[in-house]
Copies of this chain bind each other. A is one copy, B any other.
Amino acid sequence: GFAKVDHHRALRNGFPEVVFCQGKAKEHIIEILTNLLKHGHNILATRATPEVYEAVQAHIPEASYSELARVITVLKEPILKRGRVLILSAGTADLPVAEEAAITAEIMGCQVERLYDVGVAGIHRLLDNKDKLNDAQVLIVVAGMEGALASVVGGLTDKPVIAVPTSVGYGASFGGLAALLAMLNSCSAGIGVVNIDNGFGAGVLANSIIRAIVASEV
């Protein structure tokens, strides 16, 4: 058919291929999801509009939906949560991306804590939560506009920091470019950056780090 679902991926990466719904026809999405479900794994589909969810749910009644994060999940196996991932957001407009990261990390088996709306315009909100930074094993920083939160967090911790620029802003933000460039040029060394609005990618990277930690614990 039109799709070659990568069934090896659950073996290689510990989680089956995630469906990127944007630009796909509803029937295609349903066909791929149905195909994936046959293997009994948990399922994640990102960038799903409410209309897509409605169509999916008609075929897969157990499918859940986060309207904020625009993700569909189907739980077939129990999730064993391990690791400690902290997700910070600069503003409330960054929540959809932060939640996409959170749900991705969670369904892949991470324990996730959220610390939202702690942007640098009121930096005491972040400084009051230093203990949360210390408790985490991996941090995800989600920020639009000028993305300065990533640099400040990076300066306060020695943990791996994953930065997600968002398209929140207007004018010279150029759809998230300002935050992206800021994060790539951070004076706090050692921040790993993912694509604009790519909460999914940040969740996957956080999970791969947690996997590496857990693997070595054994």
CB distance from A162 to the nearest CB of B (A): 6
B172 touches A118 (CB 8 A): no
CB distance from A133 to the nearest CB of B (A): 11
Chain B residue with minimal CB distance to A206?
Answer: B190
A185 touches B24 (CB 8 A): no
User: In the assembled complex, which residues on chain B have CB atoms less than 8 Å from the CB atom of A174?
Assistant: 181
Chain B residue with minimal CB distance to A98?
Answer: B2
With an 8 A cutoff between CB atoms, is A194 at the interface? yes
Given contacts A93-B23, A120-B152, contact A190 B207 (CB under 8 A): yes
A93 touches B178 (CB 8 A): no
CB distance from A122 to the nearest CB of B (A): 4
Binding site for B on A (CB under 8 A): 2-4, 6, 8-9, 12-14, 17-18, 20, 22-24, 28, 32, 90-93, 95, 116-125, 137-138, 145-148, 151-152, 154-162, 165, 167-198, 200-205, 207-209, 211-217
A/B interface sample: 13 pairs, CB < 8 A: A3-B117, A6-B121, A22-B93, A91-B187, A121-B189, A137-B216, A145-B187, A146-B184, A171-B195, A177-B181, A179-B182, A190-B202, A216-B216
